[in-house]
């Protein structure tokens, strides 16, 4: 009986720890932030996306080199992008946690006229200031599928 109770408690605690660890996949605020980013892509809204951009964002578009943009420049980039490639669909395919206080997502962006694109996002949790604790986009890659 004691062995059985020990086994049940061990398994139960193991599941509880696993739930806490796997819960970090959707770290506080990251899932909500990813949903808002999805809406911004679905609506083609650089204005909504701005709320989730870091002060500096690295963006890679197609075959072009990775370029670091200020938040204002990145908003301009997405305003042009959404005008040239109007949204039809945005579907998150995968998400995960590559490191502490980081979340990534992979999505498929479909334009009404010009095909499908793969979107890679890396969000990091802010450590200072007004944005402390919020996840912001630091890296974003868009490539043709």
CATH for 58 = 3.10.450.50
Domains held by the chain: number: 1
Rg (CA), the chain: 19
pLDDT in tens, the chain (145 residues): 444 433 333 334 333 333 333 344 455 567 889 999 999 999 999 999 999 999 999 999 999 999 999 999 999 999 999 999 999 999 999 999 887 899 999 999 999 978 999 999 999 998 887 778 899 999 999 999 9
Is residue 59 a part of any domain in this protein?
Answer: yes
Q: What is the pTM of this model?
A: 0.77
To 5 degrees, how large is the angle CA 55–CA 60–CA 65? 110
Q: Which domain holds residue 62?
A: 26-144
Taken as a whole, the chain contains a residue count of 145
């Amino acid at each position: 009986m004691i062995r059985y109770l020990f086994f049940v408690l061990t398994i139960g605690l193991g599941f509880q720890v696993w739930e806490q660890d796997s819960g970090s996949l959707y770290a506080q605020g990251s899932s909500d932030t990813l949903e808002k980013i999805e809406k911004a892509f679905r609506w083609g809204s650089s204005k909504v996306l701005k709320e989730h951009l870091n002060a500096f964002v690295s963006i890679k578009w197609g075959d072009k080199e990775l370029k670091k943009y200020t938040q204002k420049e990145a908003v301009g980039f997405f305003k042009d992008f959404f005008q040239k490639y109007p949204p039809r669909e945005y579907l998150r395919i995968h998400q995960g946690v590559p490191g502490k206080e980081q979340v990534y997502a992979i999505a498929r962006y479909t334009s009404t006229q010009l095909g499908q694109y793969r979107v890679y996002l890396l969000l990091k949790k802010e450590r200072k200031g007004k944005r402390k604790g919020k996840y912001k986009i630091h890296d974003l890659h868009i490539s043709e599928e």
